[in-house]
Amino acid sequence: MARSSSPSVDKPTLEYLSRPGPHRIASGDLAAVGLPGSVFAPVSGRDLPVIAFGHGWLQPVHRYAGTLRYLASWGFIVVAPATERGPVPSYSGLGADLSRSLRSVVAGSLGGGVVTGSASKLGVLGHSLGGGAAVLAAAVDSGIKAVATVTASASRAALRVAGDVTVPGLHLVGVADRMGENAGAELARSWGGPVQLREVKGAQHLGLAEGRHWTTALSGNGAEKRIQQATRTLATAFFLRHLAGQDQLADELEEKIPGTSIVDLSDPQDEQ
């Protein structure tokens, strides 16, 4: 397999991406662009790729701070709207807010102008509810160039439009997920562009969320290091490849990664 002869933080391999990146991180509030939520970004950088993150059902954004900071440490501006947090949220509402937060950031600047995002390098990442919302955002916002979901749940609308999304997709599903109703696999099988479906051993529906929360008792599952690390490494590599031109990662993203396995989408019987 072809690899970079001199891997570095500027041309990283998956091994590099298994640890936080070289950038110092600043965090702030999305209120400046008219949305509740959080933003994490390198302390400086021009025309950076921007990722909008969609939270899980009933989950506060602060439960993803470790993952969002991780992505920012590798050179991404990450925005996470804290909307649609009620018991009956709107997938389309959160999807619209993901798109709005991306557009608001690239239309302005952060840190007094020392950090700017590129309108040509936009991606969305969503967990649970946020996974379905990310698909809806990509279906209507042609500026979004890559989509990743983690133990997604999805509305009928999201499942219906997945075939219209022609940008690259990465869908991580949990072998032990009993709440997602196989939505991640359905999204992957319907996807209109290049796609990978990858199972994470032992992962449950809300495992990406960090720390404890009252929903832990409700759902019977909570923070899981395996799904958190797999998401951080794979999502970082996926977005670096498709938003930042790090093509040396292409082959590695197709390889075996401990604790995960790629699902063969050509086999209709190969369901999680």
pLDDT confidence of 4, banded at 50, 70, 90? very low
Average pLDDT, the chain: 91
Would you say residue 3 lies in a domain? no
Per the domain annotation, does 267 fall within a domain?
no
Residue 22: pLDDT above 70? yes
Q: How far apart are CA 49 and CA 91, in angstroms?
A: 24
Burial class (CB in 10 A: 0-12, 13-18, 19+), 154: buried
Residues 197-253 pLDDT 10s? 999 998 999 999 998 777 766 554 566 899 999 999 999 999 999 999 999 999 999
In-domain check, residue 1: no
Q: Is residue 4 part of a domain?
A: no
The predicted model scores a pTM of 0.93
**Is 160 inside a domain boundary?**
yes
The answer to whether residue 269 scores a pLDDT higher than 60 is no
Residue 175 lies in a domain: yes
Residue 140: CB atoms within 10 A of its CB come to: 14
Q: Is residue 269 part of a domain?
A: no
Q: In DSSP terms, which residues pair with 175 in a beta bridge?
A: none
Which pLDDT belongs to residue 219?
53
Burial zone of 5 (CB within 10 Å; 0-12 exposed, 13-18 middle, 19+ buried): exposed
Range of the domain at 133: 14-262
Instruction: Provide the domain count of the chain.
Output: 1
